[in-house]
Structure 1
Amino acid sequence: MRFATTLLMWLVTTLLLAVALPAAWVQQHLVDEDGYAALAQRAAADPGLQSAMASELTSQVGRLGTGVNTGTVSLVAAAYTASSTFPGQFAQANRFAHRWLFTDRVRSSVDSQGRWVIDAAPMLSDAAFKETLSDYNVTLPSSIPIPLTDNAPAALRPGALRPVATFGPWVSVGAAVVAGMFALLTLFVARSRGKMLVGLGVSALLVGASGWAAIEFGRRRLDAVLNNSSGDIRRIAEVMIGTAQDSMHQWLNITLIVGGGLVIIGVIVSLLVSLAKTN
């Protein structure tokens, strides 16, 4: 009976960990505005994103005024995206997109089709562009929405993820607390603490390995979503997704390391207990 109870609690703990880990990552890096901006800022250091963004900014300037020398603007845009100020301003532009999706506080800047957009105005307002824009008599509007998708699904509509922003923190914290409580209860119920430490380590290893597999599966689904974008926007989105994927891999690697550590500690504890009983 005790073995069955311990096994059941171990299974529940493993499932709870499988929920708590991705929930915590999503809350910190996607749902939280500051976390999402930090993710975007890291992505902005990628040369591929910088090149794509320079091309997109050049196109936006060309649409704002006639007689614009795109060659000159392209050189200015390339220098700007390679500068130290670009990552922070790119992150600010992504805050715009985040608020649009999670809070719907920027309806006035949504395009006529209600597509998910980022605001290029903060970037084009940088000192790097001022002189060039002035030379071509280009006046910047208060916002310059750039659609991220040509045919956005229902999930990418203004305020579509507002409930996630409201309940996400509670879910992530609650899942982590419950998973921790069940882990402690499993240790308490188990007949052998050393063996159960090994078991909990195996749980972490299973969750980490399953996470890697889930990311690979999910990437295929994301590639289908990216088919709604094209050109520079797709290149930017691919770098953003790649940066998020790298961050998730880091969390999973830490989980695998912790799991391996628990297995080693559990084996050592079991050996010490056996030696103590023998003596």
Structure 2
Amino acid sequence: MRTFVSAVGVILALLLIAVAVPAAWVDANVVKEDGFVRMAGALGKDPDFQNRLTGAAVSTFESSVQLPEPVRNLAGDALKGAANGMQSWSDYPQAWEETVRNSHRLNFGGQTEESGSPTALLLDIAPLVRLIRDHFASSTGITLDVPAESVVTLGQPSQRQIVERVSAFAPLWWVAALGAAVSVLLALAAARRRALVFVFLGLGGLALAALWSTTADLAVSSVQNLSSGNSVAELFKQEFLESSRSGFGQWIVVDVWVSAAVLALGFLGWLVAGRRRSPSANRATTAR
């Protein structure tokens, strides 16, 4: 019975860890705003993505304002300069970070009525449009009003539903982690040979690393096959998925090292316990 209870504890702990670790990563790097900004912030440095993003911002600016006829040629030159060199502006990084934060709030913190697509994933490029407006005003002396939000659709309603479920359940990762800790303690308390508990936990952790790696690859591949219908959105999606895969891969590497250490500790304890039992067994045999 003790062996059975211990085995159940180990299995339950591994199942809960399999859920808790990915959920904790998603909560820290996707659901939480600062983590999302860290991951997506690097996308603003990608040259191809920058070019498409600035092109979309310039197009949005042109379509959202009414330019006086006498300054159309001047405006054309100014907007061409913005499209070609906005990434080099000193205030571009701050505008991109604000873009990422606003987009996170739209997708994870509730959407506004102006977004126009309450069931889709959105990228709000309004900070970049305002950046173009400010530079346009400094070069022409003309101040124009631009929309408070300028959104680019990133996904479909089904993807929006996935985001809503993730944002609801990922923060509860600690419940699974607490259950895993209790299960490990139960397994250790019931085990006749505690070293074997560490051995199986280490082996299970290595198996989970392989499972997470395979599942992450499949998830990235399946999401990449879903079309967003927008070149900017497609590039954002691809780069963000690659960043996510790389970030979670670092957690998998940590799991491999921790699991290997636990496995080594279990084998060491098993060998030590075996040596302690051997003299007792020899004395019992001699007595008989």
CA distance in 2, matches of 1:117, 1:145: 10
Structure-2-length-normalised TM-score: 0.81
SS at match of 2:225: helix
User: Does the aligned pair in 2 maintain the 1:115–1:147 contact within 8 Å?
Assistant: no
CA distance in 2, matches of 1:87, 1:18: 37
User: Does the aligned pair in 1 maintain the 2:126–2:149 contact within 8 Å?
Assistant: yes
SS at match of 2:160: coil
Q: Which residue of 2 aligns with 1:207?
A: 208
Shift of 1:210: 0.3
Tell me how many residue pairs correspond in the alignment.
Answer: 269
Q: Which residue of 2 aligns with 1:264?
A: 264
5 Å-filtered alignment, 1:229-244, equals 229-244=229-244
CA distance in 2, matches of 1:88, 1:180: 42
User: Does the aligned pair in 2 maintain the 1:55–1:232 contact within 8 Å?
Assistant: no
Shift of 1:86: 4.1
5 Å-filtered alignment, 1:108-257, equals 108-111=113-116, 115-126=120-131, 130-135=134-139, 137=142, 139-149=144-154, 152-156=156-160, 161=164, 165=167, 168-169=170-171, 171-225=172-226, 227-257=227-257
Shift of 1:240: 1.2
Deviations for 1:203-240, whole angstroms, at most 9, x for unmatched residues? 21111110001011112220132x12332221122111
Cα distance change, pair 131–31 in 1 and its aligned pair in 2 (3 A): closer
CA distance in 1, matches of 2:55, 2:104: 23
User: Does the aligned pair in 2 maintain the 1:2–1:189 contact within 8 Å?
Assistant: yes
Q: Which residue of 1 aligns with 2:52?
A: 52
Read off the aligned partner of 2:232 and give its amino acid letter. D
Q: Which residue of 2 aligns with 1:98?
A: 104
Cα distance change, pair 118–243 in 1 and its aligned pair in 2 (3 A): same
Read off the aligned partner of 2:102 and give its amino acid letter. F
Shift of 1:179: 1.0
User: Does the aligned pair in 2 maintain the 1:44–1:86 contact within 8 Å?
Assistant: no
CA distance in 2, matches of 1:76, 1:33: 28
Taking only aligned residues, the RMSD between alpha carbons, in angstroms, comes to 2.8
SS at match of 1:143: coil
Shift of 1:59: 2.8
User: Does the aligned pair in 1 maintain the 2:41–2:100 contact within 8 Å?
Assistant: no
User: Does the aligned pair in 1 maintain the 2:209–2:252 contact within 8 Å?
Assistant: yes
Higher normalized helix content (fraction of residues)? 2
SS at match of 1:44: helix
User: Does the aligned pair in 2 maintain the 1:58–1:77 contact within 8 Å?
Assistant: no
CA distance in 1, matches of 2:206, 2:107: 34
Read off the aligned partner of 2:216 and give its amino acid letter. I
Deviations for 1:140-191, whole angstroms, at most 9, x for unmatched residues? 4242322233x7224427x972x7545542x211111111111222122222
Q: Which residue of 1 aligns with 2:286?
A: none
Where do 5+ consecutive residues of structure 2 fail to align? 280-288
Deviations for 1:12-66, whole angstroms, at most 9, x for unmatched residues? 1111111111111111112222222222223334444333323333333333455
Q: Which residue of 1 aligns with 2:16?
A: 16
Report % sequence identity: 20
Cα distance change, pair 177–153 in 1 and its aligned pair in 2 (3 A): same
Where do 5+ consecutive residues of structure 1 fail to align? none
Does residue 76 (structure 1) correspond to residue 115 (structure 2)? The answer is: no
